[in-house]
Amino acid sequence: MTVYEPSRELPVSGDYDVVVAGGSCTGLFAAIRAARLGYRTLVVERYNCLGGAATLALVNVWHSLYSTDGREQIIAGLTSETLERLMRTGDAEQPNGKTRHYILDTEALKLTLDQLAGENSVTTLFDTRACAVLTDGGRVTHLVIENKSGRSAVRAGVLKCRPSRGADRRDR
């Protein structure tokens, strides 16, 4: 059985150049890159912390930044920046040396990601679910979100999200 949900007007609760749906490490890192280029950037996260699988699923062993033979650094950028911060504060360690895996403190990672968001002027909305996108002429214009303030839309110049079966797309 199905029921009909009537359409309704939504308030526009924000206006951003870049909106990232999902506050995983990769989501936040993409947002920080955009913010560093001068774009007004929002991250929408359904739970109460950043980090995605790394924090929410307690993935606290991160693989090496180096190639398997240990000769060449093949991962850098914000992954390396985050790990350097955690190493400085003693919240990450490399028990088998500089070219091997890291073990890190999940709670310290949450705080570090919050700090990185704040320092880079990335706005974050926690406990907020990305529900649908609105499009105009095939182009995404708004992300529809829901949180304790209700349902609203944020204007998104560019939207980054993971494809999800739950996401709804509505042409205006």
Ligand X SMILES: Cc1cc2nc3c(=O)[nH]c(=O)nc-3n(C[C@H](O)[C@H](O)[C@H](O)COP(=O)(O)OP(=O)(O)OC[C@H]3O[C@@H](n4cnc5c(N)ncnc54)[C@H](O)[C@@H]3O)c2cc1C
Where does this chain bind ligand X (CB under 6 A)? 21-24, 26-27, 44-47, 52-53, 56-57, 59, 63, 129-130, 162
**Minimum gap (Å) between residue 86 Cβ and ligand X:** 16
Angle at alpha carbon of residue 42, lines to 37 and 46, rounded to 5°? 145
Report which residue's Cβ sits closest to ligand X: 52
**Minimum gap (Å) between residue 1 Cβ and ligand X:** 25
**Minimum gap (Å) between residue 163 Cβ and ligand X:** 10
When the beta carbons of 10 and 59 are compared against ligand X, the nearer one is 59
When the beta carbons of 129 and 155 are compared against ligand X, the nearer one is 129
Angle at alpha carbon of residue 106, lines to 100 and 110, rounded to 5°? 120
When the beta carbons of 105 and 137 are compared against ligand X, the nearer one is 105
When the beta carbons of 4 and 114 are compared against ligand X, the nearer one is 114
Q: Given its phi and psi angles, is residue 32 left (phi above 0), alpha (psi -120 to 50 degrees) or beta?
A: alpha
Beta strands per DSSP E along 1-138:
12-21, 41-44, 61-62, 92-93, 102-104, 122-125, 129-136
Question: Is the distance from CB of 151 to CB of 168 less than 8 angstroms?
Answer: no
